[in-house]
Amino acid sequence: MLQKIYDWVDERLDITPIWRDIADHEVPEHVNPAHHFSAFVYCFGGLTFFITVIQILSGMFLTMYYVPDIINAWESVYYLQNEVAFGVIVRGLHHWGASLVIVMMFLHTLRVFFQGAYKKPRELNWVVGVLIFFVMMGLGFTGYLLPWDMKALFATKVGLEIAVTVPIVGDLAKTFLAGGEIIGAQTLARFFAIHVFFLPAALLGLMAAHFIMIRKQGISGPL
Ligand code: HEM
């Protein structure tokens, strides 16, 4: 049945070359844990990607209930967590995934670093990776404020105080991020926009560049 549907579409749109080009590649022996157990370190990039997909999907569902204003934000999260069917699971995925994705990205970065995989010709992909790293940090920082509880407020206060210590542009950066003098309505609206539109858009673009470069250059090694 599935084969029939596939053939029907393929006959009309010739999709086989497209997916073969994307997916039909041999995995080199040195990155296959079935051959060398230590090759499991090559999985960290893919695991980072897997959790990133979970973050995007769970985040999309969270926006169906989350209300980004200071009167309703906390209550909307409370409602989602305690009243909505599967709400606790969706929020749990996004909450724990946020930490796990950073851990995975860090392990992936360590793998690339200690194997020297950033060396010529992969320098540009390391640079893209560093940009991804900052975007991920930004997602963590802006997402933390959104539940609008005491922990969120004071964590953001600490984060903005750190921003102030940057020479010359520190004060400007803080005002720009907070949208004013205090952490208030403007800050929450701004963090929400950055968290769900600006940074995810940047992340998608950067990940596309990351994967295109990996495909073009192939995986590094064996050592
Ligand atoms: C969302 C975050 C990221 C995702 C989803 C991701 C994904 C991947 C994947 C799937 C690979 C293929 C090889 C592997 O899995 O080890 C890879 C390779 C690579 N990544 Fe990342 N990555 C991320 C972040 C980073 C960061 C933060 C850096 C460095 C600062 C980085 C630098 C590199 C480099 C240089 C390679 C080529 C390695 C080689 O050819 O051996 N990546 N990435």
Cis, bond preceding 222 (omega within 30 deg of 0): yes
Where helices occur in the chain by DSSP H, the ranges are 2-13, 16-23, 43-62, 73-82, 87-114, 123-145, 150-164, 170-178, 185-193, 199-217
pLDDT attached to residue 41: 97
Q: Could you tell me the residue ranges of all domains in the chain?
A: 29-217
Query: In the structure, which protein residues have their CB atom closer than 6 angstroms to any atom of ligand 1?
Result: 42, 44-46, 48-49, 52, 105, 108-109, 111-112, 117-118, 122, 125-126, 129-130, 132-133, 207, 210, 214, 219-220
Of residues 123, 95, 130, the one with CA closest to residue 109: 130
pLDDT attached to residue 81: 97
Q: Phi/psi at 5 (nearest 5 deg)?
A: -60, -45
Residue nearest to atom 38 of ligand 1 (CA): 117
Query: At CA 74, angle to CA 71 and CA 77, rounded to 5?
Result: 130
- CATH class of this structure's domain 29-217: mainly alpha
Testing ligand 1's pocket by substitution, the residue of 214, 216, 217 carrying the most ligand atoms inside 8 A of its CB is: 214
What is the pTM assigned to this prediction? Answer: 0.94
pLDDT attached to residue 23: 87
Give, for all 223 residues of the chain, the pLDDT tens digit. Answer: 999 999 999 999 999 999 999 888 888 999 999 999 999 999 999 999 999 999 999 999 999 999 999 999 999 999 999 999 999 999 999 999 999 999 999 999 999 999 999 999 999 999 999 999 999 999 999 999 999 999 999 999 999 999 999 999 999 999 999 999 999 999 999 999 999 999 999 999 999 999 999 999 999 999 8
